[in-house]
Structure 1
């Protein structure tokens, strides 16, 4: 378990209960740290197999729920935040590529095309529970084979859903975004904060 990196940052909100981020993703950790909240990091280890034919929005919600439940059993006095992200291109679901060739195929399919990024979030605190998802539409400009190869060589695509990081080097590929940018990164901050406030788990910092 690791603490969130919130030191020496302005605080917009403060905790009312202990928080645990059930994710190994450094992007989600960075996003939550932006708020100034104190939290621990405890990645959830779950089986990510899903019944065939399930809608993508149900997949991300179910996986986020599984992650939150797993970690909640370890930390019964804390509020658990878990998330799962999936990229959808037409009828294809793009998770994290298993190798460079699969990443190459994903990036080629996204070139000059719209796709959707769905992020499911589950927040659990004792008997309180909220599960939701955001959908963001993203369009890439046309990518040359040379650009794709250069991006693959950086190593950035390999642990990202859809084989790209919108907040990283792939920001140079993005032509348009409709929806939550932080949802594409891995944790929709506006919607997550709204739920944390509604469940009385955090509060704005006051002088």
Structure 2
């Protein structure tokens, strides 16, 4: 059974590899803004789950054999109730860090697992994981140095747990793998809903 990761995220790939899975990586190319715009007043949880499903479905359209396809999407729900994806620019990342330093946020990761036989999706399971993140207070010099690395520009919430951003995370309450990008416990549970054991993909 082929295990397909519908993501170009090196962090998600690293989590799976460390857990004994060598997935086939296929990038969906989904227009996330268009997917979000098609939803009517979604909750943050519904938004990340819909985006994860859209990514997995886009990959499933080209599947030919028996495959399990996993799509994920992550966003940070800050203490002021706003949802943030990748900042994209230094200015946006700086502003976000100024606001979230010393606060807590909730890292939401939507998951969609599709079971495909001969190019047809025969079953699916979707859900999300929520993990509380307690942010530290980097000094101005530390923050500017972090921004200069480029790392926070390309990750949800402008931080990583497994990279340089880990210096500025005081702690988490929940699943660390979900904060990195793909929850191993939740993915295992979704696989089980489809009748697939995690040992089938090792």
Q: Does residue 117 of structure 1 match 2:93?
A: no
Q: Does residue 180 of structure 1 match 2:175?
A: yes
| Partner SS state of residue 30, structure 2 | coil
User: Residues of 1 paired with 2:138 and 2:20: CA distance?
Assistant: 37
* Contact persistence 1:114–1:138 (CA under 8 A): yes
- The aligned counterpart of 1:196 is 191
Normalised by the length of structure 1, the TM-score is 0.86
Bigger proportion of residues as helix: 2
Aligned length, in residue pairs: 189
- The aligned counterpart of 1:165 is 160
User: Residues of 2 paired with 1:82 and 1:101: CA distance?
Assistant: 29
* Contact persistence 1:108–1:148 (CA under 8 A): no
What stretches of structure 1 of length at least 5 have no aligned partner?
1-16
Normalised by the length of structure 2, the TM-score is 0.88
User: Residues of 2 paired with 1:175 and 1:203: CA distance?
Assistant: 31
* Contact persistence 2:75–2:85 (CA under 8 A): yes
State which of 20, 43, 50 in structure 2 corresponds to 1:36: 20
RMSD over aligned Cα atoms: 1.5
What stretches of structure 2 of length at least 5 have no aligned partner?
116-120
TM-superposed CA distance for 1:100, in Å, is: 0.5
User: Residues of 2 paired with 1:111 and 1:139: CA distance?
Assistant: 9
Could you say if the C-alpha distance between residues 98 and 200 of structure 1 is closer, same or farther in structure 2, counting changes exceeding 3 Å?
same
- The aligned counterpart of 2:58 is 70
State which of 47, 58, 64 in structure 1 corresponds to 2:31: 47
